[in-house]
Every structure is written in structure tokens, then in C-alpha cells.
């Protein structure tokens, strides 16, 4: 997840995280079903307090952008059960399975590109 915090911004850090996650989802860089870092991992990565990261996640849940599934973590939530949302969930699941088989991302991308060329 490519998020940066501007410590000199008038915008609070939790709001910067919230806004940037929404932007990443909107641009399709975070797909439906994508797992987000844990609160502690995000806080460490961005050098912010865990409570700040937790507040950002709470705000994103309230906005219906993410959902937390208990100990399983937080995930980008589908806005509706549209075909595109289902396709994104299937793609995320398929890529996770391929990674679980030890296939690297470059090889996965090549497989997808080859599949797209077929009629």
C-alpha cells in the first residue's frame, strides 16, 4: 500500500491515511478483497501511533470502504455485489492461491497477459 504521511500538513495523520486509502481504492490500486496491513504494521510503516492507524481504519469502516473480519484482518469492501466487485474478489483470491503455490508476481502477470490474449 503506497501511503505517505506529511507531518507538516494541517490535515491530521488519520485523515491522510483515510483519504489516501479511498483514493487507492478509487484508482483500482487496492482491489475489493485486498487485505490491508494490521494496525500495528501500518503504524510502524508510516511512523504514526497505533491509535492513529486504528482511527483511520474505524473511519474507513464507517465510510463502508473496508471491513474488519476479526482476527482475519481488514479488507477492502465491495460497495455492491456488482460483476466488477465479484471479479475483483475472484482475481485477488486467484492471485493469492498462485502465490501460495510459490509462483512469483512477474510470472502471474505473464500468465494473466497470456490469458487476455486468448479469444
Q: Please give the Cα distance from 91 to 82 (Å, whole number).
A: 14
Q: What CATH number should be reported for the domain whose range is 1-77?
A: 1.10.10.10
pLDDT at residue number 93: 79
Question: Quick check: 17 and 4 in contact, CB under 8 A?
Answer: no
Domain boundaries, the chain: 1-77, 78-119
User: How far, CA to CA in Å, does 113 sit from each of 43, 50, 89?
Assistant: 35, 39, 18
pTM of the model: 0.68
Dump the DSSP string for the chain. ------TT-SS-HHHHHHHHHHHHHHTTSS-TTPBPPPHHHHHHHHT--HHHHHHHHHHHHHTTSEEE-GGG-EEEPPSS--HHHHHHHHHHHHHHHHHHTT--HHHHHHHHHHHHH--
pLDDT at residue number 81: 55
Low-confidence ranges of the chain (pLDDT < 50): none
Amino acid at each position: 500500500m503506497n501511503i505517505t504521511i506529511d507531518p507538516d500538513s494541517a490535515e491530521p495523520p488519520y485523515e491522510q491515511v483515510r483519504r489516501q486509502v479511498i483514493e487507492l481504492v478509487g484508482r483500482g490500486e487496492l482491489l475489493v478483497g485486498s487485505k490491508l496491513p494490521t494496525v500495528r504494521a501500518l503504524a510502524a510503516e508510516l511512523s504514526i501511533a497505533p491509535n492513529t492507524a486504528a482511527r483511520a481504519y474505524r473511519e474507513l469502516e464507517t465510510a463502508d470502504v473496508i471491513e474488519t473480519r476479526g482476527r482475519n484482518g481488514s479488507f477492502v469492501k465491495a460497495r455492491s455485489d456488482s460483476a466488477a466487485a465479484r471479479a475483483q474478489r475472484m482475481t485477488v483470491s486467484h492471485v493469492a492461491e498462485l502465490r501460495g503455490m510459490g509462483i512469483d508476481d512477474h510470472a502471474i502477470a505473464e500468465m494473466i497477459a497470456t490469458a487476455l490474449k486468448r479469444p
